Amino acid sequence: MAIKIDTVIIDSEETSRELIASYLETVDDINIIQQFKDILSAQDYIIENRPPLVIVDITKKTNISLDIISKLTTLVKNIKIIVLSYDTESDIVIKALRAGAREFLVKPLIEKDFVASVQKMKDLILGNINDTTKCKVITTFSNKGGIGKTSIAVNLAMEIANITKEKVALVDLNMQMGDITTFLNLDPSFDTSYVINNLDRIDETFLLTTLEQYNKTSLYVLADPPDIEQAEIITSEDITTLINILRNVFSYIVIDTTSSFDAKTITALDNSDLILLISIINLPSIRNCQRCFDLFKKLGYSKDKIKLIINRYMDADDIKIEDVEEVLDHKVFFKIPNNYYTIINSINKGIPICDAAPNSNICKSFKQLGAMLSDNYNYTNKNQKPQNQREQGFKFLNLFHKNKGDN
């Protein structure tokens, strides 16, 4: 026997209540148990009977209604509230979500949108969660700062969004020194700590409202906390929960981490489908990469999970790609060309590289990388070099092996 979901309708207009009731009749297993003209007269009934679903119009007495919604979400565990209003101001939407509303719909209602919201609440109530296997989580990491990790995360996320047109979340988990909002010239109203503090009432509407949408694209940014105190109270368990919730809404998640193996970073790596290990070609960076691979092995990560990205690559480098691959026993997945002026110009303007210099070699590189990682491209490693170039790199191999144990 199907479980019926008790539902309360609150609207000052009788015709509106009748319309809502007629829309609800099209959704299976919805049981309207009571209707009210205002939330003030409904609150005691809701607290006593604890209906899992409440639909309320807050157009009149907005502030009082929001205060009561906040009270109800505190007192009635797992209640789902859909807010309706003729007011389309973004401030009202944000206040409603902060109060605990799971959905916000503008009146006059569009039947399709209303039914979709009710169906979503029904699925949440019955414990039917979205299939998260379709979401790909990509984390950029380097245990050495200043080699372009954040720039790669930002521009990769932007190109995946441009290529796929699907929703992409760009998450700044560099909790104390995050720069993603600077790279994109954003001043977000919310951050990671706010989202994590509201994990119990997060749904798609909440996330798409609290994450900062970039320039009307399908890229959404979750900023790092504004101060260290807020960052420190976030736990590894919070990170896991956050990623799992984002998986329900976004097709891709790109995470930028700190340059250290702390517990939160390892949690992000654990929950990632792909880890982009970022390096440049010099002896200290390659040694650091080897340490990373050693730790990844201890953590049980497969080789396929780790993609080695060489940043600031130049054909004239004395150290050759083949030598790096031999030392690390790992293939180089992709090379990003050295184009310092273009990168700095885009950062200073607060725009993605392909907006700052669409015809540059580095823009083309990010487009290719975005296509590869969004599964829209069949990639074959074409990094093989002529043999005469390979011989120049033996000095590096000898130096590396000679000093390998000198730490």
Instruction: Provide DSSP, 23-81.
Output: HHTTSTTEEEEEEES-HHHHHHHHHHH--SEEEEE-SSSHHHHHHHHHHHHHHSTT-EE
Amino acid at 236: S
Q: What pLDDT score does 406 carry?
A: 46
Q: Which helix (H) or strand (E) holds 346?
A: helix 340-349
149 token code pair: 């990790």
Q: What pLDDT score does 391 carry?
A: 44
Q: What pLDDT score does 401 carry?
A: 52
pLDDT averaged per 10 residues, the chain (length 407): 86 96 94 96 95 95 93 88 85 79 89 90 70 78 88 96 92 85 90 79 77 93 81 82 86 93 90 95 91 90 95 86 92 94 93 95 94 65 40 53 47
12: left (phi over 0), alpha (psi -120 to 50) or beta: alpha
Q: What pLDDT score does 405 carry?
A: 45
Identify whether the C-beta of residue 293 lies closer than 8 Å to the C-beta of residue 330.
yes
Which residues does 189 contact at the CB level (< 8 Å), separation at least 6? 94, 210, 212
Q: What pLDDT score does 200 carry?
A: 61
Compute the distance between CA of residue 51 and CA of residue 147 in angstroms, rounded to an integer. Answer: 54
Q: What pLDDT score does 402 carry?
A: 45
Q: What pLDDT score does 400 carry?
A: 59
Identify whether the C-beta of residue 138 lies closer than 8 Å to the C-beta of residue 274.
yes
64: left (phi over 0), alpha (psi -120 to 50) or beta: alpha
Domain annotation for the chain: domains and CATH numbers? 5-125 (3.40.50.2300), 132-403 (3.40.50.300)
